[in-house]
Amino acid sequence: MRTSLVKRAMGLLAVVLVASMLLAMVGCGKRPEPDTSKPTLPGDVSTGVSGDESDSSDIETGDSTTTSDVSGDDTTSDVSGESTDNSDVSGDTTTSDKTSGKTSGKTSGKTSGKTNATTTGKTNGKPGPIVTQKTTKNTTTTQMTTNTTPAAGSSEDLWSKIPDIKGKKIKMLIWWTPYSDGGDVVKAAEFKEKTGATVTYETAELGKYQTRLSSMVMATNSPNISAIINEWYPQPITRKLMQPISATGWDFSDKIYAKKMMDQFSYKGDYYGIALNGSAMSTFYVMFFNKNILQQKGVTKDPYQLWKEGNWNWETCLDIAQKTTDNSKGETGMTITYQNYWMLSAGQDFVLADKSGLKNNIKNEDLLNAWYHAWDMIYTHKVVDTSFTDKTPFYSGKAAMFGGGSYMMQAKGENYVPKNMPEGSWGVVPFPSPKDMDPVAACEGMVWGFPTGKKNSGDQLQAAAWYLRYYLDDLNYRDTTIYNKNECWEVMDWMWEQDIQSFNSIGVLTYGGEYTAASIQYNLIDEADSKSKLKSNLDSWYSVLDANISKIENELS
């Protein structure tokens, strides 16, 4: 009988759930509970999600109110205080003045087998917003390479480079209530003050975001800026909702741009969105640890010390987990939100992207071994909390470590670590990668780009590009409004420098509308006897993914 293990062990990212995500300038928010219904497996005859709204369940949500869509209406908020005409010709848009939301909530965001789409988009050579770089150095022992994080340039440098865009009206499609605490409202107001351009945020319910974007594009009322999150890729591209960022004419060659994240959302050499290094815009996977438990159990070096030495990996993580596990007392080494963290931290995903297109990665040996490792952590070593109640065992002192999203480092939010652990009692490090391989930052990636449409070209596109460059820059907001201690920023900066693997196979898996993100993982570590079946179960998905990849390739060609 399927137990509660199903709820967590397979890394469920249920398609049918709608996450009320708040994405803004600072960190990410709550994660929805996974769908516990039995997912569709190869050969099952059942219906899945429509191709219109692919899996959108694993988006982090903040503690602010997400605009509800009970009437089917969306809202438009002119946070600059200027009255703007953002009516959609479909007539389902209402206008509210200066919507103010609560703080926090952006998804924050993957070696052998890593994505190899290191490409540059077509360009006419027109300079982009290349600004003077500020850097922060994370100095470690000689065993760990000194990192120089290419942080965003100062606002003064940026303003001096923005051309005359006075009077331009920029519309950004989001799925949260614009908020004023260091985020949307403040940024829009400052941008208007410096440039004379007005920014409007239009809110669409997360589960209807792509449908809303599609209707706006069809109605020739495209927003100027919209997002692609890992669950949606490559649908916004195949549906021609997004234009290549090369349309801006910028070369995006400056180190401020997170090419390793942008690679995840490229297709055959074209980029469709941008990300900035050092920001909190994507959900990276991290490992929290309870310092008190580790000391009580005689652990001589905690994960942070091991990380600084360059010795934080699967093996040292297991060693600490074993030392802190006492199953007779209900004490385990760790609890973890999703078991697919191991796969991603090994630079693997079920589908990878490179310059040739999408690659079916099911038969990759490293991918298989990552799932064997996940299975062993649960059943062989018995160091993982099998109630799979996420952060609860960690908060209650029953689990020494907790694998979760980087949004949990945020200073604000009811379910965040700083709100539930005594000050000074916890630490955080990146989620570990296998020993003897280059580290990989596993994440749920996100990029922001420019929808298609006549209203998003020429000077209007340039204005949108400059605002997006400014909006994504977290340099001036590195204070307690985001994370409650510098250690969190240190971890985030380091992860942006590594190879990145986003969980982007979700969109390919759900593309045919027959399967959910849970389906492929349901087989792998569902039960104690599933290890012997793991390879065959994994192989059974090869033809499913091949068919979806072929469908995508045909549509894009």
Is the pLDDT at 344 greater than 80, yes or no?
Answer: yes
User: Which of 71-75, 206-210, 390-394, 514-518 shows the lowest per-residue confidence on average (mean pLDDT)?
Assistant: 71-75
Summary mean pLDDT of the chain: 77
DSSP letters spanning 22-37: --SSS---B-PPPP-S
pLDDT of 115 reads 31
Assess whether pLDDT exceeds 80 at residue 418: yes
Give yes or no for a contact between 315 and 323, defined as CB atoms under 8 angstroms apart: no
188 band by pLDDT with thresholds 50, 70 and 90: very high
Q: What pLDDT score does 297 carry?
A: 97
What the chain holds in terms of domains, given with CATH numbers, is 285-441 (3.40.190.10)
Residues 6+ apart with CB under 8 A from 244: 121, 122, 270, 271, 272
444-467 average pLDDT score: 95
The residue-averaged pLDDT of 138-151 equals: 34
**Mean pLDDT of all residues in 398-411:** 94
In sequence order, the β-bridge partners of residue 483 are 410
Task: Write out pLDDT tens, residues 347-393.
Answer: 999 999 988 889 999 999 999 999 999 999 999 999 999 887 789 99
Work out the pLDDT band at 18, boundaries 50, 70, 90.
very low
pLDDT for position 514: 83
Q: What is the pLDDT of residue 147?
A: 36
Percent share of the chain, pLDDT over 90: 55
pLDDT in tens, 504-513: 999 999 887 8
The full length of the chain comes to 557
Across 421-426, average pLDDT: 93
Contact in structure between 78 and 170 (CB atoms under 8 Å): no
Q: Model-level pTM? A: 0.77
Amino acid residing at 386: T
Helices (H), 196-335: 209-218, 235-238, 259-264, 291-296, 303-308, 314-323
User: Which has the minimum average pLDDT: 105-114, 285-294, 318-327, 450-459?
Assistant: 105-114
**pLDDT band of 435, cuts 50, 70, 90:** very high
For the segment 24-38, the average pLDDT, to the nearest whole number, is 38
Tokens of 439: 């580290």
Residue pair 46/522 in contact (Cβ under 8 Å)? The answer is: no
Quote the pLDDT of residue 20.
Answer: 33
User: Which parts of 27-135 fold into alpha helices (H)?
Assistant: none
Query: Is 472 strand, coil or helix?
Result: coil
Higher pLDDT, residue 351 or 25:
351
DSSP bridge partners of 358? 353
Instruction: Grade residue 311 by pLDDT with cuts at 50, 70 and 90.
Output: very high
Q: Are strands 499-502 and 169-174 parallel, antiparallel or unpaired?
A: unpaired
Helices 184-195 and 458-471: crossing angle in degrees, nearest 10, is: 130
The four Cα atoms 399, 403, 407, 408 give a dihedral, to 10 degrees, of 0
Structural tokens at position 140: 């470690």
